[in-house]
């Protein structure tokens, strides 16, 4: 629940954010990340202002150079007169020790706070899930009039797939060496990638990595998704063969080419009327997630807080009824799906 006072405070933060105040944006992001009631209130208020940013998801194994690549991308975008927002999702992997990714996006230049806004998320325990929080943060940055939003995540697990449903272009970074890595994540990779980056091209084996990826793409003839409307897991673009680009995120080599691939992909989405498809996939799953979360909350409240439930549980203990029958009775009596 949010009080009227808090609503007023949030309304004023939204006005300030819309006028370009980045501190207000930061406070709204914190609310959206940590407080589900506030998130619902804020998203309802700002939704009409979203839909203008171009959203780019970037993933890859720990240490593959995601933050470094983002760093060079920021420079290019800012030089082109764009405002850039970044959401970095921190891995819980014990190898990373829980450090904040945002801190590791070492800026080579000092950008004006008006041009670049970075938010890192330190844990995966957000209410309603990590993907929910990430997607809502992206909406706030979108309404804050950023032209480009970059999302950094690690790996290609379920949360990442969910997050990348929000992205227009999804970039997967691999590095030379580690031949088995592609084998292991092949399935997940094929379902989300729009562009492959072979970063650390200065390392031995970059061309071999490109060849490996090309042959993986050759094997996968199906760039078509059979039923995109109902797709739960596939976020990549239909009919689009993901291009592969070698980069050096430190020297900036090939970054211009990489960015023009993103532009090419964007053009493809627009020319093939796939923007709307993306939105369908995105919002169907967002609504599903919100409903699942709300229903779970309601059911938990029923089971743990409603004393009437005791008599049902007692019947199970007394062996009068089994848990399945009791669940069906509870469903009929208390839960109205209509």
Contacts of 246 (CB under 8 A, 6+ apart): 197, 198, 199, 201, 206, 207, 210, 254
Among Mg ion, ligand GTP, none, residue 154 binds (CB under 5-8 Å by kind): ligand GTP
**Binding residue (CB under 6 A) for ligand GTP from 13, 131, 138, 154:** 154
- Least distance (Å) from ligand GTP to the CB of residue 252? 9
Per CB under 5 A, 61 contacts Mg ion: no
Q: Which stretch binds ligand GTP (CB under 6 A): 31-39, 59-67, 230-238, 310-318?
A: 59-67
Minimum CB distance to ligand GTP smaller for 65 or for 242: 65
CB 239 within 8 A of CB 272: yes
* CA–CA dist 228, 240 (Å, integer): 14
Q: With respect to ligand GTP, which residue has the nearer C-beta, 68 or 169?
A: 68
Residue 117 has which token pair?
């806004």
C-beta of 97 vs 307, nearer to ligand GTP: 97
Under rule CB under 6 A, residue 124 binds ligand GTP: no
Say whether residue 59 binds ligand GTP (CB under 6 A): no
Partner whose binding site includes residue 87, from Mg ion, ligand GTP, none (CB under 5 to 8 Å by kind) = none
Q: Which residue has the tokens 């406070």?
A: 27
CB of 64 to ligand GTP, least distance (A): 4
| 265 touches ligand GTP (CB under 6 A) | no
d(CA 281, CA 34): 25
**Residue 135: contacted member of ligand GTP, Mg ion, none (CB under 5 to 8 Å, by partner type):** none
* Cβ proximity of 85 and 149 under 8 Å: yes
Q: Does 57 bind ligand GTP (CB under 6 A)?
A: no
Whether residue 140 contacts residue 46, with contact meaning beta carbons closer than 8 Å, is answered with yes
- Are the beta carbons of 143 and 50 closer than 8 angstroms? yes
Contact mark string toward Mg ion, 90..129, x via CB under 5 A: -----------x--x-------------------------
What burial class does residue 9 get, using C-beta atoms within 10 Å of its C-beta: 0-12 exposed, 13-18 middle, 19+ buried? middle
**Dist CA 6 CA 33 (whole Å):** 16
Task: Cite the beta strand spans of the chain per DSSP E.
Answer: 54-60, 84-89, 116-121, 148-152, 169-174, 195-198, 244-246
Q: How many angstroms from the chain centroid is the CA of residue 186?
A: 20
Confirm or reject binding of residue 200 to ligand GTP (CB under 6 A).
yes
For residue 249, state whether it binds ligand GTP (rule: CB under 6 A): yes
CB of 102 to ligand GTP, least distance (A): 10
Q: How far is the CB of 109 from Mg ion (least distance, A)?
A: 18
DSSP designation for 245: E
Among 22, 25, 67, 71, binds Mg ion (CB under 5 A): 67
* Residue 60 binds which entry of ligand GTP, Mg ion, none, CB below 5-8 Å type-dependent: ligand GTP
CA 66 to chain centre: 15
Q: Tokens at residue 233, please?
A: 């897991």
Residue choice 22, 25, 235, 248 for contact with ligand GTP (CB under 6 A): 248
- Within a 13 Å sphere around the CA of 58, how many CA atoms are in the beta-carbon half? 28
Is residue 252 at the binding interface for ligand GTP, with CB under 6 A as the rule?
no
Q: Does 104 bind ligand GTP (CB under 6 A)?
A: yes
Asked if residues 70 and 150 have their Cβ atoms less than 8 Å apart, the reply is yes
Q: Tell me which residues touch Mg ion (CB under 5 A).
A: 66-67, 101, 104
Q: Tell me which residues touch ligand GTP (CB under 6 A).
A: 60, 62-68, 96, 101, 104, 154, 199-200, 202, 248-250
């Amino acid at each position: 629940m949010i009080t009227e006072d808090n609503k007023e405070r949030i309304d004023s933060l939204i006005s300030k954010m819309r006028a370009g105040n980045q501190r207000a944006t930061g406070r709204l992001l914190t609310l959206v990340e940590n407080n589900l009631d506030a998130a619902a209130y804020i998203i309802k208020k700002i939704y009409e202002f979203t839909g203008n940013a171009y959203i780019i998801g970037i993933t890859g194994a720990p240490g593959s150079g995601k933050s470094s690549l983002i760093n060079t991308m920021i420079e290019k975008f800012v030089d082109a007169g764009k405002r850039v927002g970044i959401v970095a999702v921190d891995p819980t992997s014990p190898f990373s020790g829980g450090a904040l990714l945002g801190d590791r996006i070492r800026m080579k230049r000092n950008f004006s706070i008006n041009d670049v806004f970075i938010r890192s998320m330190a844990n995966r325990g957000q209410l309603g899930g990590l993907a929910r929080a990430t997607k809502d943060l992206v909406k706030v940055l979108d309404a804050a009039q950023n032209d480009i939003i970059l999302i950094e995540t690690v790996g290609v697990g379920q949360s990442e797939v969910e997050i990348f449903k929000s992205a227009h272009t999804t970039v997967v970074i691999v590095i030379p060496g580690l031949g088995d890595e592609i084998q292991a994540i092949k399935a997940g990779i094929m379902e989300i990638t729009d562009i492959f980056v072979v970063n650390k091209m200065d390392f031995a084996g970059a061309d071999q990595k490109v060849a490996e990826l090309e042959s993986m793409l050759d094997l996968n003839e199906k760039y078509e998704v059979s039923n995109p409307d109902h797709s739960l897991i596939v976020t990549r673009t239909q009919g689009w063969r993901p291009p592969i680009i070698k980069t050096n995120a430190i020297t900036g080599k090939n970054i211009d080419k990489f960015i023009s691939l993103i532009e090419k992909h964007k053009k493809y989405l627009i020319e093939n009327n796939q923007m709307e498809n993306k939105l369908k996939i995105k919002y169907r799953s967002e609504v599903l997630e919100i409903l699942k979360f709300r229903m779970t909350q309601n059911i938990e409240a029923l089971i743990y807080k409603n004393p009437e439930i005791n008599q049902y549980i007692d019947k199970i203990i007394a062996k009068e009824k089994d848990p399945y029958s009791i669940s069906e009775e509870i469903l009929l009596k208390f839960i109205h799906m209509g």
